[in-house]
Structure 1
Amino acid sequence: MKTLIIYTHPNHQSLSFAFLQKVIQGSTENPEISEIKVLDLYEEGFDPILVFNKEKRRRDMHADPKLEKYRHQLLWAEKIVFIYPIWWGRPPAMLLGYIDQMFASNFAYRDKGGLLPEGLLKGRSVVCISSMKGPALYPLFWLHNAHKVLMKKALFQYVGINKVKFFEFGNMESPKGKQEQKLNQIYRYFRRLSS
C-alpha cells in the first residue's frame, strides 16, 4: 500500500507534528505499507493562492505545470493521510488552498452533465487526523459536523473516494487532553492498518 501523508501545520513543535511522527512510525512497522511519501505543505512552500486571469484559466488548472509534481503524488498514492489542526471549525487555509488547486476538474473529477460528476480518484482511501483546542463534541453539536461533511461529502466522495476515516481529537491544549494516549492510538492504527 503506497501512502501519501499531507501534513499541514507551520510549527514542528506542535501536536500535529507529533501525530505525523506516529503515523510514520506505525506505517514503517506495517508490512502492508510498501512506500511512504510526506508532503509538508508549509516546509514545501506550497502557494495556496488561486490566480485566474486571461493567461491562467480555471479550466486549465488540471494541466498547470507548477502542480504536476503534486498530481503525480496523488495518482501514485493508494492511501492519502491528511494531518492538520482545526482552526475556526475548518482545516487551515494552506490545506484548503492545496485542495482548491489539486482536486481540479479533469484531474480529480469529470463533469458528465448530470447532478454528480465522475470521480477520477476512485480506488483510493483517506484518513484525516485533526486536532482542536475545543471539546471533541463541539463540531458535532455546535457546527452540525461541518468539518466532516466538508471533507467527506463535498470533497472526497465528489472525486470518487468513498473510504474515509476520521480521527478528530478535541481538548488538545488541556492538561487532561490525553495527548499521549491519542498519539499511541494513531501509532497502533497505522501499525495494524491493512488495505
Structure 2
Amino acid sequence: MAKRILVLLGHPDCRPERFGSALASAYVDAATAAGHEVRRIDLADLDTPFLAGQWEFESPPPPPILAVQQDILWAQHVVVLFPLWLGATPAKLKALLEQVFRAGFGLEQSPRGPLPKLKGRSARLVVTMGMPAIAFWLMFGGHGLLALEKGMLGLAGISPIRKSVIGGVEMIGGRGRLKWLARMRRFGRLGV
C-alpha cells in the first residue's frame, strides 16, 4: 500500500558526495519507484534561526517553518537522517526541530495533561556516527537518539519509531556503505 513519506536529511552539509545524502537519495529513489509519494527536505537548504526564548517558542513560526509543518502533517511516515555530533543531533537540526514543534504543533496542553497531535504517523531515525554502534548503545545508552525519539516524536504521538544506527562510518569501507545503501533502498520500497 502506497504511503506519503517525508524524508528529512538533517545534515548541515547535503552535498551529493556525503554518505548521508546518498542514504537519503537511496531511500527516496526506492520509495518513489515503489509507488510511494515522497517529499524531501534538506536541512542545508533551510535558513533556520535559533529560538531566542520561551516567548518565541509559544508564538507561531515563520512561513518557511510552516511549510515544514505542513509537510509533516501531510506525511504518514517521516524519515530523519542525521549524523551524531558530540553525542546529539547537529545544532542546526535541533534548531529546525525546535522551530517546527513550537506553538503547540506536536503537543497540546490540556487540563488532563499533554495531548499528542501527530498520532497515526510512523518514523524512522537513521543516524551515522564515527564510533562503533555497539559503543553508542552500551556506553551511551543511545542518548543521541532518545531525545528525538522520546522527547519530541514520541510525545507528539508518532509511533512506531524505528531506528537505524550506522556506526564506524569512516571504517566500514565501500562494502559496508553498499550494504547500508541497499538496506535504505529496502526500507524505501517498504515505506518503513
TM-score computed with the length of structure 1 as normaliser: 0.87
- 2:58 is matched with 59
CA deviations on 1:110-153 (whole Å, 9 max, x unpaired) are 01245x51000111111111111110112211112212321221
- 2:47 is matched with 46
| CA separation of 1:139 and 1:113: change in aligned 2, threshold 3 A | farther
Secondary structure of 1:4's aligned partner: strand
Secondary structure of 2:155's aligned partner: helix
User: Which residues of structure 1 form unaligned runs of 5+?
Assistant: none
CA positional deviation for 1:95: 0.9
CA positional deviation for 1:5: 0.8
CA positional deviation for 1:71: 1.6
TM-score computed with the length of structure 2 as normaliser: 0.88
Amino acid at match of 2:27: V
Confirm or deny: 8 A CA contact 1:84 1:129 kept in the other structure. yes
Amino acid at match of 1:161: I
Alignment of 1:123-142 (within 5 A): 123-142=120-139
Secondary structure of 1:51's aligned partner: coil
Give the aligned CA root-mean-square deviation in angstroms. Answer: 2.0
User: Which residues of structure 2 form unaligned runs of 5+?
Assistant: none
Q: After the TM superposition, which parts of structure 1 deviate over 2 Å for at least 4 consecutive aligned residues? A: 63-67
CA positional deviation for 1:193: 3.1
Confirm or deny: 8 A CA contact 2:127 2:166 kept in the other structure. yes
- 1:107 is matched with 105
Q: Does 1:7 align with 2:9?
A: yes
Q: Percent identity?
A: 21
For 1:165 and 1:41, the matched residues in 2 are separated by 21
- 1:98 is matched with 96
Q: How many pairs were matched up?
A: 187
Amino acid at match of 1:3: I
Amino acid at match of 1:67: I
CA deviations on 1:10-32 (whole Å, 9 max, x unpaired) are 1412110110111112101213x
Confirm or deny: 8 A CA contact 1:41 1:95 kept in the other structure. yes
CA positional deviation for 1:60: 1.3
